[in-house]
């Protein structure tokens, strides 16, 4: 199986898993917007989950039962404004990384609620809206994210709700 097929199969399986278990989630980051911005090969995915940290062990147990080789970090990475729980999925000679952003604040919960749903490989996929991606990139203040903002502003120039960006209660 080539890299593209492996990636598609694992993502399809992951999003079907979320949907079957009624886990509220949204795909975050460039992979969600590749057709619009800039194609790239990546095996690292950011997924926002509406799960509190104390429930993550149960979630990871479910994930381990579904996937053959899940390697979770022992605890989340803690930043001033968010928690990210990294889970690796080892596939033969490939490593997929799922960074689960825990939606514990009102802002993150609203990001998931505003996400839109689309068809994806015989499944449904929830993706955050472009305005929330812009807010998240700006908010993190990571140099790579700030550098990518120019591409997003150009790509979404006529599709961005600037009044939303200016009036948002983003952190």
**What pLDDT digit, counting tens, does each position of 99-138 carry?**
998 988 888 888 889 898 888 888 788 888 877 777 777 6
pLDDT tens column, 37-85: 444 455 788 899 999 899 999 999 999 998 888 999 999 998 777 888 9
Could you give the number of structural domains in the chain? 1
State yes or no: pLDDT of 31 exceeds 60.
no
Give the whole-angstrom CA distance, residue 135 versus residue 141: 10
Question: What is the span of the domain harbouring residue 44?
Answer: 3-129
pLDDT band at 86 (very low <50, low <70, confident <90, very high): very high
* pLDDT at residue 38, as a whole number: 44
Specify if 159 maps to a domain: no
Greater model confidence, 112 or 166: 112
* pLDDT at residue 170, as a whole number: 54
Specify if 48 maps to a domain: yes
CATH of the domain at 34: 3.30.460.40
Specify if 163 maps to a domain: no
DSSP the chain: --HHHHHHHHHHHHHHHHHHTT--EEEESGGGGTTTS------EEEEEE---GGGHHHHHHHHHHHSSSEEE-SS-EE-SS-EEEEEEEEETTEEEEEEEEE--SHHHHHHHHH-EEEEETTEEEEE--HHHHHHHHHHH--HHHHHHHHHHHHHTTTT--HHHHHH----
* pLDDT at residue 145, as a whole number: 61
* pLDDT at residue 95, as a whole number: 83
State yes or no: pLDDT of 36 exceeds 50.
no
Residues with Cβ within 8 Å of residue 166, at least 6 apart in sequence: none
Question: CA angle 120-3-154, nearest 5°?
Answer: 60
Tokens encoding 143? 């140099």
- Is residue 90 within 8 Å of residue 74, measured between CB atoms? no
* pLDDT at residue 54, as a whole number: 92
Specify if 83 maps to a domain: yes
Specify if 147 maps to a domain: no
Tokens encoding 66? 């579904």
* pLDDT at residue 42, as a whole number: 55
* pLDDT at residue 153, as a whole number: 66
* pLDDT at residue 35, as a whole number: 43
Specify if 152 maps to a domain: no
Specify if 161 maps to a domain: no
Specify if 134 maps to a domain: no
pTM, rounded to two decimals = 0.80
């Amino acid at each position: 199986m080539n890299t593209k097929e492996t990636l598609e199969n694992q993502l399809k399986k992951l999003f079907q898993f979320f949907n079957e278990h009624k886990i509220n989630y949204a795909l975050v980051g460039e992979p969600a917007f590749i057709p619009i911005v800039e194609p790239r090969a990546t095996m690292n995915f950011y997924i926002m989950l509406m799960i509190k940290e104390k429930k993550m062990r149960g979630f990871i147990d479910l994930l381990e039962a579904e996937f053959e080789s899940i390697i979770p970090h022992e605890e989340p990475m803690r930043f001033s404004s968010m928690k990210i729980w990294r889970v690796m999925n080892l596939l033969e000679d490939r490593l997929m990384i799922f960074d689960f952003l825990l939606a514990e604040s009102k802002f993150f919960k609203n990001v998931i609620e505003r996400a839109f749903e689309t068809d994806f490989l015989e499944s449904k996929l929830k993706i955050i809206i472009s305005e929330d991606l812009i807010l998240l990139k700006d908010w993190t203040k990571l140099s790579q994210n700030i550098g990518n903002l120019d591409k997003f502003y150009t790509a979404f120039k006529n599709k961005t709700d600037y009044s939303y960006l200016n009036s948002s209660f983003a952190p």
